[in-house]
Amino acid sequence: MYSAQVSHEEIDVLSPEPITLMPFSLALSRHGLKLNRVTTHTLQVNVGFLCNQTCRHCHLSAGPGRKENMELGIVNEVVSYARRSCFETIDITGGAPEMNPGIGALIEGVFPLAPRIMLRSNLSVLNDGKKDQLLKMLKAYRVVVVASFPSLNEFQSDSQRGDGIFQKSIDALRKLNAMGYGHDGSGLELNLVSNPTGAFVPPSQAEAEKRFRKILKEKWGVVFNNLFNFANTPLGRFRQWLVKSGNFTAYMEKLSASFNPCAVEGLMCRSLVSVAWDGYLYDCDFNLAGGLFMGGRKMHVSEMPGPPEPDSHIATGDHCYTCTAGAGFT
Ligand code: SF4
């Protein structure tokens, strides 16, 4: 499949070429499947779209110019929600969540309420010279760091994420390793997320993890715990890039052709609820990007009595094919 080098600055909002795709809901029913919730054990908190990077693959079109940022009042609402819901995991994401002034309050607030706190990081933001306090806090609170590290190839990585980002990411990984992150037995978990740099479905996760572990260790002395390998979701800036580069139709067809009914049972939306920067709830971060409210109904975190009920409906769209391609996206 063709992968063009189109800079994100060139990308306008374009209509995709016409495409005939079986609706995702129909693909489910053809296999006798329904996408409903089980017990919801994870609260994902998207603190906003502000980011120091403007990555081509970003499904949220996050970047330095974005103004959507969770305010302290909503942070407090989220903490109250976590208190009345007993989640097992709080998964903090953005944008670059480290850039939200309320990040410390959020981590402190949810720390006593859930056994596992995760922070998704683009890594480069940890190297701006202003995050030492936050790094100390992550270590003290045993926050799991889930770091975006798309490629081992510096040129490919910089073309997707911006000039110089690869080296800054390596420096940040070394800093985290020096603090104990990524070392077996340290209790400080460092996981990497890799994704293709073009319009491709990713290779096997086990193979990719082996390759990343070997090369990162040999070339840069970097260690980590697990690697997750995901396809890019055709929303936001990545969708615009697919359209602009003429890859949209072929990519969507590739995803739908890779539909794996066995992946449905483990989809993250079945056990996760996502809260956006403004407090509204979604079934996952992709539905947040696509504007599909939780179960198709607009609901604010302050009105939510507890976790979504088991068996409740999950809103879906064609972007859901990303999650069911191959081994799936959990
Ligand atoms: S995009 Fe969201 S709702 Fe759709 S399958 Fe993936 S996790 Fe579930």
163 domain-assigned: yes
* Ligand 1 near 92 CB (within 6 A): no
60 domain-assigned: yes
Query: Where in the sequence is the domain holding 104, given as residue range(s)?
Result: 40-247+266-312
How many domains does the chain contain in total? 1
Ligand 1 centroid vs 172 CA: distance in angstroms? 30
Average pLDDT of the residues of the chain:
91
**pLDDT for position 329:** 53
pLDDT single digits (tens) 190-199: 999 998 767 7
What residue's CA is closest to ligand 1, atom 1?
A: 320
299 domain-assigned: yes
pLDDT single digits (tens) 15-26: 556 667 899 999
- 298: domain CATH number? 3.20.20.70
The DSSP element (H or E) to which 134 belongs, if any, is helix 132-140
Judged by DSSP in three states, 262 sits in helix
29 domain-assigned: no
Distances 204 to 25, 188, 284, 299 between C-alpha atoms, Å? 26, 26, 23, 37
Give the integer Cα–Cα distance in Å for 322 and 325.
6
Nearest to 29 by CA among 293, 259, 327, 266: 259
pLDDT single digits (tens) 124-170: 999 888 899 999 999 999 999 999 998 898 888 888 888 899 999 99
Of the pLDDT bands very low, low, confident and very high (cuts 50, 70, 90), residue 12 is very low
* Ligand 1 near 259 CB (within 6 A): no
Give the integer Cα–Cα distance in Å for 37 and 312.
5
Q: What is the pTM of this model?
A: 0.91
164 domain-assigned: yes
Give the integer Cα–Cα distance in Å for 164 and 157.
9
208 domain-assigned: yes
9 domain-assigned: no
Ligand 1 centroid vs 286 CA: distance in angstroms? 7
What residue's CA is closest to ligand 1, atom 5?
A: 320
The DSSP element (H or E) to which 90 belongs, if any, is strand 89-93
Per the CB < 8 A criterion, the answer to whether 325 and 258 are in contact is: yes
Give the integer Cα–Cα distance in Å for 238 and 3.
12
**pLDDT for position 161:** 86
**pLDDT for position 56:** 86
Candidate from 31, 284, 313 with most ligand 1 atoms within 8 A of CB, to mutate: 284
27 domain-assigned: no
**pLDDT for position 127:** 85
Q: What's the order of all strands across the beta sheet hosting 272-275?
A: 226-229, 190-194, 144-148, 116-121, 89-93, 42-46, 272-275, 281-282
The DSSP element (H or E) to which 178 belongs, if any, is helix 165-178
E-only strand ranges, 182-294: 190-194, 226-229, 272-275, 281-282
Residue 8 has pLDDT above 60, yes or no: no
